[in-house]
Amino acid sequence: MTDLISELEGSFVKSTAKFDDGDNFMIDGTSPRKRRSPITTITTRLYERFGKRVLDLFLLLIALPVVLPVVLIIGLLVRSDGHTALFHQDRVGKGGTLFRVWKFRTMVPDAETELSKYLAENPQAAEEWHKYQKLRDDPRITPLGRFLRASSLDELPQLWNVAVGDMSLVGPRPMLPSQVSLYPGSHYSLMRPGITGTWQVSDRNDSSFAVRGRFDTEYWADLSLKADLIVLWKTIFAVLSCSGR
């Protein structure tokens, strides 16, 4: 038993996040996880390795009868402009592997080309994009897309990603491959990305991309069934507040 406990405690990443006044991310040499009793350590690791996946699948099965009709209705509304209802894009998953994430399309066709053109013509927008990796007034977003983004309903198709094991209900926000070099943290690749997470239920629209590393590190440090249930509960109010974009 002593050997098992030592192995579990030793498997944690030995680093912690700090930020200076400019939101620059720094690493020191101590563990970000609080010192826990042996029993708590084992419980946390069991939840991380097995319980979290069980919770994902259990909640998916419960939500399916309600979510499926909503997905179908939204899909038809998005499809009504003559273009595809779904949008897919490569994202970075656990262990640095790439997977295809699914969302409802909220932008005009050929949105990436439109973004490059818009940023080239608008230096202020380019600066905003570099800092936040999003735009407050993104000209590519359709009227229906603005509602879907504000309510976070555009992310409902990611439940498929959860079902197949690419994502979890709760975890770090899925990151683009092009954002890896900008990401300041070291714990993202240890977890499955989540549909919701600590960043999504906080000041997500006002924090810089660099600060996301702090949210991921804090989530990794506190990862537990209780922490996930709290985030899921807060997500309900975040969705109802329509604060996304």
Higher-pLDDT residue of 100 and 205 is: 100
38 lies in some domain: no
pLDDT for the residue numbered 12: 36
Look at residue 193 and tell me whether its pLDDT is greater than 70.
Answer: yes
pLDDT for the residue numbered 38: 65
129 lies in some domain: no
pLDDT for the residue numbered 26: 38
pLDDT for the residue numbered 161: 97
**Domains in the chain, number:** 1
* Burial of 205 from C-beta contacts in 10 A (0-12 / 13-18 / 19+): exposed
Structural domain range at position 166: 51-106+141-240
Q: Which of 77-91, 124-138, 141-155 shows the lowest mean pLDDT across its residues?
A: 124-138
Q: CA–CA separation, 77 vs 222, rounded Å?
A: 39
* Residues 132-166 pLDDT 10s: 777 777 888 888 988 998 888 999 999 999 999 99
Q: Tell me the pTM.
A: 0.76
Query: Phi/psi at 193 (nearest 5 deg)?
Result: -60, 155
Q: CA–CA separation, 89 vs 101, rounded Å?
A: 5
30 lies in some domain: no
* Residues 48-62 pLDDT 10s: 889 999 999 999 999
Query: Phi/psi at 218 (nearest 5 deg)?
Result: -65, -40
245 lies in some domain: no
| Nearest residue to 180 via CA among 91, 113, 88, 89 | 91
118 lies in some domain: no
Res. 37 pLDDT band, cuts 50 70 90:
low
Please give the C-alpha separations between residue 126 and each of 63, 122, 130, 133, in angstroms, as whole numbers.
39, 6, 6, 9
Asked if residue 198 lies in contact with residue 187, where contact means CB atoms within 8 angstroms, the answer is: no
Please name the residue that has the structure tokens 């826990």.
36
Higher-pLDDT residue of 143 and 40 is: 143
